[in-house]
Amino acid sequence: TYTCTRGSVRARRARLARLRAKSTRFRVYVLVGYESYWREPLRRELLGYEPEVVIYDEAHRLKGRGARQSKFAHSLATNGNKLWTPPHILTLTGTPAPNGAQDVFSVFKAFDPAVFGTVYAEFEERYIKKGGYLGYEIVGYLNQDEMQQKIAAHSFRITKAEALDLPEQVDVVVPFDLSPKGRKTYDT
C-alpha cells in the first residue's frame, strides 16, 4: 500500500510519480484523500496512473454534485478527462443518502453514470417533487420504487449484524478539568 494522504499536494504527486516510475510485478494500492485528489498537480499524475480499480470509501462524501471532489469523480466515470476511465469503480458508504434521495444522483454519477444519467435536472424531474417557497424546496419524492430498484440492482447492503461480531458498546466517562480560558469558552 502506498499512501498519498500526507504532505503537500506537490509532495504527494512526487511520491506517486516515483511509484509509477518503478517497474513492479506486484499489485500496488495507492491511497488518496478526497481533499487533495482533484488538486493539481496530483490530479494530473493520478490521471496518468490509470489504476484498474478506483474505490471511493465513504462515498457519501461525493453527494455534493457541485463540489470539486465530486466533479473530478464524475469526470473519471464519464471519461470527461478524455484520457482514461477506470475499468472498475466501487463505492462504499454506510450513509448513501444522508440528506435525502437527491444525494444518490451524484454518488451514482461517480460510480456508474448510466444508472441515473449525467444531468441532474432530468434526475430531479423524474424523482424529486418540488414545492414550498417559489417551488424550489424538495417536498417529496417521485417514482421511489423505480429508484429503489435501480439502487438495489447496483448495490448490496450488509448490516452490522451480518458483517461483524462486535462487542457491546461501552460508554466510559473520563472526567477532566478545563483551564480557566477553556472553561470560559465552553460556558460561552
pLDDT in tens, 8-31: 888 888 887 887 777 565 566 677
Instruction: Count the alpha carbons within 13 Å of 185 in the hemisphere toward its beta carbon.
Output: 5
Residue 144 confidence (pLDDT): 95
pLDDT per position as a tens digit, 118-177 = 999 999 999 999 998 898 999 999 999 999 999 999 988 888 778 777 788 899 999 989
CA distance 180 to 135: 50
pLDDT exceeds cutoff 80 at 59: yes
Using 50, 70 and 90 to split pLDDT, how confident is the model at 90? confident
Residue tagged 441532474 (cell numbers): 120
Question: Mean of the per-residue pLDDT values for the chain?
Answer: 85
Checking phi first, is residue 38 left (phi over 0); if not, alpha (psi -120 to 50) or beta?
alpha
Q: Reply yes or no on whether the pLDDT at 84 is more than 70.
A: no
Please tell me the distance from the alpha carbon of residue 59 to that of residue 117, in angstroms, as a whole number: 18
Alpha helices in the chain (DSSP H): 9-21, 42-49, 68-77, 103-111, 120-127, 144-153, 160-163, 180-187
Q: How far apart are the first and last CA of the chain?
A: 45
What percent of the chain clears pLDDT 70, i.e. is strictly above it? 91
pLDDT of residue 95: 86
Cis status of the peptide bond prior to 41, with omega within 30 of 0: yes
- What's the pLDDT score for residue 61? 92
Q: Beta strand 137-141 with 88-92: parallel, antiparallel or unpaired? A: unpaired
pLDDT at 106: 94
pTM to 2 decimal places: 0.73
pLDDT bin (cut points 50, 70, 90) of residue 80 is low
Q: In sequence order, what are the beta bridge partners of 140?
A: 129
Q: Do residues 69 and 34 touch, judged by C-beta distance below 8 A?
A: yes
